Structure 1
Amino acid sequence: MPPSKSTATSQDGTTLAVYTYNNRAAPVLVCVHGYPDNAALWAPVADLLADEFQVVAYDVRGAGASDHPASTAAYVLDRLQEDFRAVIDQVSPDRPVHVLAHDWGSIQAWHFVTAPDLQPRIASFTSISGPSLDHAGYFLRKGSRAALKQLLHSWYIFYFHLPWLPELGWRKGWAHRAFNRLERQEPDDNRSLGDYVNGIKLYRANVVPRLLRPAQRRTDVPVLAVSPDADPFVTTPLQTDIARWAPNLTTKVIRGGHWMPRNDPGLVARLVREHAGQVARWGT
């Protein structure tokens, strides 16, 4: 069944497109997509979970049918946190939500779950292929072999900080071909050129400041950190060496590549179901 569409308005006036797979009596699961995706990424997962959750996905600012602010400063993590708050105020004002996030969605969601005022509103967090930038800042400072390996995997971050060239690559098409070859995947017809171009601002607004001046961000929210073993962008230690920041942590290394929500939605649904179920048993 296709989702119902609504909008939520963030604190700075940005309008967000929100998609709800209705099961009003069920716990709410909010799905946050990464770059260069939009909320359509979650449709196969939502179809598998819609009997057990009220699944909600939204287009992150700059993607899909949400507004596309022109300023790079409009994409800082605090603005993205205001977007998330606007969505959960609308879909679940009175009960905590479960959060499922991937890639830049996970980077955002780590900011949400480590915000003291939002932690009571989040029942669980399932993170796939996306670390906290603050945690990454401390991890990379170690100068270990694992940190150096992650820097090699992060070559694309330096590329996205170049002026005009990344945008040109997406517009001309050669960047699509290069990135698709990393996982031998086909182009995603659900993505628009705006998803690719606007989302570069996420990197430029956040990565350097957070890595240079990381904050000590902690959370008591139960976290499941999922690391695909063939992820060409995010190494396993960066995602799982975080117990000091998240004491209620479970980690799983699974077979697969970076775009796990698209390539194996059944596994994603099972992991969310198991993690949320475990959280519910802890609370009884």
Structure 2
Amino acid sequence: MDHRQDFPPERHRTVRSGDAELAVYEYGPPPSPGSPSVLLVHGYPDDHLVFDAAVRRLAAGRHVITYDTRNAGASRVDDGAAAGLSPYRLPALVDDLYAVLDATGTGPVHLVGHDWGSIQGWAAISDPRAADRILSYTSISGPDLAHFRHWLKVRLRSRLWPEALNQALRSSYVAAFQLPVLPEAAWKYVLTPRYEKSAGRRIGDNAARGLQLYRANMFTAARPPEGRYAGPVQVVVPLKDPFLSPKLVSGLQERFPGVETVEVDAGHWWPEQNSSEFADLLDRWLARHPGTGG
């Protein structure tokens, strides 16, 4: 049985962004000046399908956009560039996000990111283009990398060092992902089958391709964007997330004065595993911050 047969009508397009071809999907009515769109950005090792259940709800009377990031799904990086790291650095990922907005003809949007989609989202709202394009931001299980590095540095130099140690242990897999060959083999032969069985959907080679995100951005001298964003920001904190400490939200208001935090009694993949709760939360958030379309 096709699990998408009752899905909202989908419009698919391919968007060129630098050295990547991005698979973009739109649902619900076309963009409208009176009803701002919602852009959902997935994380690792997923693709846009992770949001399927929530899109069923959100696209009822609302324009919703998803896309496969350049590390996943039907999106591809040009053969000549794919083996390098530069196509996967945050500036390229941010350009992708704004290229999707331009191609879909939408005005200002409500941005929602999960995991690596959330990391990209923080970088996108720290970009000067956000002032005219991003009405609000909802982050789930993906830190702003500039804040993450500052948070760790402050705690390592203070009596709060146990918090930094706790987070370092949660993030130990990031160091393992820097190794050559072994992470790809682990995903291919062990982890991907287990993940697909647990999630009930295929991820193909998303995990192996997406390792470049970690290698390009996590241990690099390049500074993540550190701009300020004055719009409303909602940080959803799954209390049972094994990868991120709930304490990471401390200090976010220094750069994001409109930040609010919401704790949920769930794990890392809360948006998919608790899709109704996720959609309800977004409905409430959008009702509080309707904004204006472009």
**2:211 is the counterpart of 1:200:** yes
SS at match of 2:135: strand
In the TM superposition, structure 1's runs of 4+ consecutive aligned residues that sit over 6 Å from their partners are none
Q: Kindly tell me: are residues 208 and 119 of structure 1, through their superposed partners in 2, closer, same or farther at Cα, counting changes over 3 Å?
A: farther
In 2, Cα distance between equivalents of 1:7 and 1:238: 36
5+ residue gaps, structure 1:
none
Counterpart of 1:264 in structure 2 is: 274
Alignment match of 1:72 (pick from 85, 110, 117): 85
Kindly indicate whether residue 233 of structure 2 is the aligned counterpart of residue 223 of structure 1: yes
Tell me the amino acid that sits aligned with residue 72 of structure 2. A
> Is residue 2:233 matched to residue 1:233?
no
After TM superposition, list the pairs within 5 Å mapping 1:123-138 onto structure 2. 123-138=135-150
Alignment of 1:50 onto 2:62: no
Q: How many residues align?
A: 274
SS of 1:53's equivalent in the other structure is coil
Distance 1:277 1:44 in 2: 20
Q: Structure 2 matches for 1:108-127, cutoff 5 A?
A: 108-127=120-139
Code of the aligned partner of 1:21:
Y
Which residue of 135, 148, 159 maps to 2:165?
148
2:4 corresponds in structure 1 to none
- What is the TM-score when the length of structure 1 is the normalising length? 0.90
Q: Distance in 2 between matches of 1:34 and 1:148?
A: 24
Name the counterpart of 1:186: 198
Distance 2:292 2:97 in 1: 26
Question: For residues 88-127 of structure 1, what are the structure 2 equivalents within 5 Å?
Answer: 88-93=101-106, 95-127=107-139
Which residue matches 1:86?
99
- Percent identical among aligned pairs is 35
Quote how far apart the aligned CAs of 1:219 are: 1.2
Contact 2:127 2:225 in 1 (8 A): no
Taking the aligned partners of 1:240 and 1:191, their CA distance within structure 2 comes to 33
Counterpart in the other structure of 2:11: 4
Unpaired segments of 5 or more residues in structure 2?
A: 1-6
1:158 matched to 2:168: no
SS in 2 for 1:243: helix
Letter in 1 for 2:71: G
Q: Tell whether the 8 Å contact from 1:134 to 1:217 is kept in structure 2 after alignment.
A: no
Supply the distance in 1 between the matched residues of 2:192 and 2:174 (Cα, whole angstroms): 14
Kept after mapping to 1: 8 A contact 2:113/2:140: yes
Q: 1:278 to 1:266 in 2, by over 3 A?
A: same
2:45 is equivalent to residue 33 of structure 1: no
| Bigger mean CA deviation after superposition, 79-88 or 60-69 | 60-69
Counterparts in 2 of 1:251 and 1:64: CA distance versus 1, 3 Å: same
Residue pair 1:223, 1:249 contacting (<8 A) in 2 also: yes
Aligned alpha-carbon RMSD (Å): 2.2
Deviations 1:173-198 (A, max 9, x none): 25764x79xxxx81442311x20101
SS of 2:289's partner is helix
Determine if contact 1:228/1:255 at 8 Å carries over to the other structure: yes
TM-score under structure 2 length normalisation: 0.87
Contact 1:27 1:52 (8 Å CA) reproduced: no
